[in-house]
Every structure is written in C-alpha cells, then in structure tokens.
Amino acid sequence: MFLRNLAVFLLLLSPFAAWADPVRNAVVKIHSSRRSPDFLRPWTKGPLRQTTGSGVVIDGQRILTNAHVVQYTSRLLVQGYQSTERIPARIVGFAPEMDLALLEVDDESFFENRPPLPLAEGIPKLKETVNVYGYPIGGDQLSITEGIISRIEFTRYFDLTPGLRIQIDAALNPGNSGGPALADGKIVGLVFSGIPSAENIGYLIPTTEIHLFLSDLEDGKYNGKYKMLDEMQTVRNSALRNRLQLPSEIGGVMIRKTFDESDDYPLQPWDVVTKIGDVPLDQEGNVQVEDNLRLSFQYFIPRYQKDGRLPLTIIRDGKEMEIELPLVIEPEWLVRPLKGTYPQHFIFGPIVFSAGSQDLLRTAGPRGEALLASRRNPLIRLRYELADSDRKELVVMGARMFPHPIHEGYDPQVFAVVKKVNDQPVKSLSHLVELIRASKGEFIIFDLAGNYETLVFPRQEMFDVTESILEDEGIRYQYSKELAPAWEIKPVAEQEVKNISE
C-alpha cells in the first residue's frame, strides 16, 4: 500500500518537477511570420510563410537564437515551455554572417519562471557529451537529444566571416535551430545547421563566438568581426621553404595575394607570417589552443587585435620583422550580402534590373552557380572581389523578360551582368538608371558580360512601353524608392538647355 501511494505521489509530482526544471523553462519556441526576398520578382517580396525555431533565455532578460530563424520577419512571437501564450518579441542584435540574433520582449513577467542559462567559458572537449534542446518540426513538445562532440574546427560561416564551429553526432532537424546544447548545466553552443543527407551530424556555434557577439553588442550596435582576408598557403614544401629562406624550425603561412595592394599595406606577396602576437605558427598555419587542439592562427585575432590592428611577426627575404596589420570588418564587395534587406529593382521596358548579391547566389544553389559559371558570368568570377570607384556593384538582369514583341529573337539572359549601356561602363544600379535616363539616339544598347547576347532596342519605344508593361503585370512601382533620385533628376545636358533658354 505504501509503495502504491508513493508511486501515485511521484506521478503527481512529475509535472511539477518538469515545470521546475530550469533548463526546460529557459528554452523557448519562436514563431516567425516572414517574407524572404524574391529574386525572380524583386519588385515584390516572397510569399508570407509561418516558420518556427528555438531560442534560449540568457542573462539580461534576453533570448538568444539564430539569425536565420528571425531574418525577414514581420512578426515575432515567443512561446515558453508548457505554455500556450505567445508573447511579441523584437530583434535587438543581428549578425547574419555568424547566424546569431538576440531578442527582447516587453512583458518582463515572461521571465518570472524562466531563469537564464549560463554560457560556458572556453572550448568544450572532444568526445564530451552534450544535450540539445529545441522544438523541431513534427511536434509541439520540447525535444531533447544527446550527442557527442566529434570535431572542433575553425572555418568560414557566411560571406568569408571566419569562426569556430563544433560538430556533434546528434539528430538535428528543422526547428532545432537556435536551441542550446548543454553540458554540466551550461550552454556550450547554439544549434545552427545540420546535414540532411548525413545521419546524425549537426553543428553548433560555440560560446566563444557567442561571447564575442554579445560583447560587440554592449554599445547597442553590432559592428562585426575583424577579418584578415589576405590569400595564404602553407609552407611545408621543401623547395618553397628554400625559396623563402625559412629555417627548419620555423612554421607559418606564406602570403600569396594581399587583400590590399596599396604601397603602405604592411604585407607583401612572399611574406611568411610566423607569429600572431607571441604565439608561433606551425607549418600548417595552426597554433596550439588547448591540449590536443590546434586551430588556425586566425582564431586568435579577437584576442590579439587592438583597435583593428593585429601584431604579426613575418619573415621577408630571410629577415624577421614585426608589423601591425590593419584588419577589416565590412569589406566593400562587388557582390554584397543583403544582411536582412531586400534587393532594389528598376524596370525598363521588358527588363528587370537589380544588383547581384551573395544571397542571390546562395538561393541559386550549386546547380544555378554551375550554370552561371558555364556562361562566364562575373557573379561567380568576381564574387569576392572588392568594389572601387569605377565599379561599385554588379548589375544583373532578371531571370526572364516580360512578354513583349520588343525583345523577340533574344534568348533568356538569366541574371546576366550588364557591362555597358551605349558603350558607357556601368558602375552600379543607380548609375545604370542615370545612363538610361540620359540616353539619346535611335537605339539603346546593353552589353552583357560573359557568354551572353548583346541587346539592342529602339530607345524611345523602350521608354514608351514601360508604363503599359507595368500595368499589364500589375506592378505598382517602376523602381525602388532608393533609386528615385537617379531616375527623377534631369540629366546635365537637359539642365543646361533649360538654363540657356531662360
């Protein structure tokens, strides 16, 4: 009788015990109403989608999650463990290149029974067991899976931004994103991706990266990670080492191409970086981080950089010297990431123009990139080239032209890059708009880069048919509002004529 009463008591106690579990209480479900960019129809947004993800309460009454869980959202709601109530939330920190985001809610009572989980310091150990919490698709209840840390590596996340990544052998599914992985009651990482084609392989953003993100946000704004973007290679080959005059005991990496080719840049091709701060590099360019763990020397950039300058020791022509290398946070790429914004557009006749972006290429996927590469499209070749005063961004045509007899006989110019308008090189989307606005003569000619046709149209007819095409397609605006100054301002020649007549 006593044992039966004890069993009943424990059964009744179990829901309370679950409710009192601080880990379960700290993990939330995130509901997002989102509209992603539509690169086929850049004048509009993609269809409204309802998606879910996971997040975790951390100190300061904040919720940590992935950037991709909340990107392009128009409405965010968070739902606590064993609760049906959904509380509005807002984004207060956003780092798409590291896939991290920070949320806040106005209702402070939401956190009364949801104490924050602490973030672990340092790097977890290989073969350490972790428990992953989240709300994967296929059910409404909190899911808990167990895995082993199988790999720790320094790699690239998005848009050439480097960072530490942890691989675990745990089943992770859509919806797990943003959920915490814990060991000994502390967060050791945040789920951010898996490999659908591989069984039980997932990835975590470790707390070392999360701490950097939160530290950057202390002034209320996320600036980004400092990067060293010079092209490098290892120095293992004996002939190469002889050419570089490297002693046998010296490791490092050789600079193959500098990020900045100006005369005052402290690195030159053939330089060998041998130390970061006072830490020597091995012949693979790695440094000792912990016992049994060596990582790329770039892992130490946050530790040693000061005000965007990194102390390095190099060998040049056999002589050792110390330099301070200027780092970069936000490179001005020709093909830029959108970072949560929407692409601009300009419609002229049957053609839709927009700027090429890293997001467009990611959306195209491997097959789409292969197709663009086969046509020698500069979106692929110049993907990580820097912009300059002569070329600020790559302007692309849409995947198709609107139906109209004016382009009869031309093939589809899928995301072709516009090189020139009437023999004038195109610097940017706004510059293309200015060139079209100021064009004269019987024809307007678009030269496209790569293996694409040259397009010739009757100039005035292109202007004339634009309005009817917009009406037929149900498009309200010919161009994004940011392009209004470029389109509405009168060309210099017209202004001069007007001034003379006055």
Predicted confidence at residue 3, as pLDDT, reads 45
What pLDDT does residue 193 have?
73
Over the stretch 361-373, which tens digit does the pLDDT of each residue have? 999 999 999 999 9
Active site residue 407: no
Average pLDDT in the 26-38 region?
Answer: 95
The active-site residue out of 31, 32, 68, 271 is 68
pLDDT value at residue 20: 52
Calpha distance 14→20 (Å, rounded): 10
CATH of 231-326, one of 3.60.20.10, 3.10.20.30, 2.30.30.110, 2.30.42.10: 2.30.42.10
Is the domain defined by 21-111 classed in CATH 3.40.1410.10? Answer: no
Q: What is the DSSP letter of 352?
A: E
Q: List where CATH 2.30.42.10 sits in the chain.
A: 231-326
Question: CA-CA distance, 173 to 177, in Å (whole number)?
Answer: 8
> Which of residues 108 and 421 earns the better pLDDT score?
421
Cα–Cα distances (Å) from 260 to 223, 230, 241, 268, 309, in that order, read: 21, 8, 25, 9, 14
Q: How far apart are CA 157 and CA 164, in angstroms?
A: 9
- Catalytic, 59? Answer no
What is residue 2's predicted lDDT score, i.e. its pLDDT?
A: 47
Gap between the Cα atoms of 93 and 462, Å rounded? 44
Distance between CA atoms of residues 273 and 278, nearest Å: 12
pLDDT at position 168 is 93
Q: Which one of the listed residues 32, 99, 143, 159 is annotated catalytic?
A: 99
- Give span(s): CATH 2.40.10.10, the chain: 129-219
Q: What is the mean pLDDT of the chain?
A: 90
Domain 129-219 has CATH 2.40.10.10: yes
At 491 the pLDDT is 52
Average pLDDT over residues 404-416: 94
φ, ψ dihedrals at 420, nearest 5°: -145, 155
The DSSP letter of residue 53 is E
Query: Percentage of the chain with pLDDT > 90?
Result: 82
Q: What is the pLDDT of residue 17?
A: 42
pLDDT of residue 194: 55
Determine the average pLDDT of the residues in 58-86.
Answer: 94
Give the pLDDT of residue 199: 55
Q: How would you write 103-162 as a 3-class SS string?
A: EEECCHHHHCCCCCCCECCCCCCCCCEEEEEECCCCCCCCEEEEEEEEEEEEEECCCCCE
Neighbouring residues of 184: CB distance < 8 A, sequence distance ≥ 6: 120
Question: Over the stretch 101-115, which tens digit does the pLDDT of each residue have?
Answer: 999 998 989 998 899
- What confidence tens digit (pLDDT) does each residue in 304-339 have? 999 999 999 999 999 999 999 999 998 999 999 999
Q: What is the pLDDT of residues 183-205, one digit of tens each?
A: 999 999 999 875 444 456 889 99
Q: Which of 241, 298, 229 is nearest to 272 (CA)?
A: 241
Q: What is the pTM of this model?
A: 0.87
Residues of the chain with CATH 3.20.190.20: 345-494
> Of the residues 177, 296, 354, 357, which is catalytic?
177
pLDDT digits (tens, 9 = 90+) for 438-494: 999 999 999 999 999 999 999 999 999 999 999 999 999 999 999 999 998 765 444
Mean pLDDT within 411-436 = 96
- Which token pair is 91? 């984004």
Phi, psi values for residue 491, rounded to 5°:
-60, 155
Q: pLDDT category, 498, cuts 50, 70, 90?
A: very low
Structure token pair of residue 127: 């073969």
For the segment 386-409, the average pLDDT, to the nearest whole number, is 94
**Start-end of CATH 2.40.10.120 domains in the chain:** 21-111
pLDDT value at position 357?
A: 96
Q: Is the pLDDT of residue 5 over 80?
A: no
DSSP string, 283-329: TTSEEEEETTEEEEGGGGHHHH-BTTEEEEEEEETTEEEEEEEEPBS
Query: Is residue 68 annotated as a catalytic residue, yes or no?
Result: yes
| pLDDT (tens digit per residue) in 132-180 | 999 988 778 899 999 999 999 999 998 889 999 999 998 787 788 999 9
Q: How many CA atoms lie within 13 A of 191 on its CB side?
A: 36
In this structure, whether the domain defined by 345-494 belongs to CATH 3.20.190.20 is answered with yes
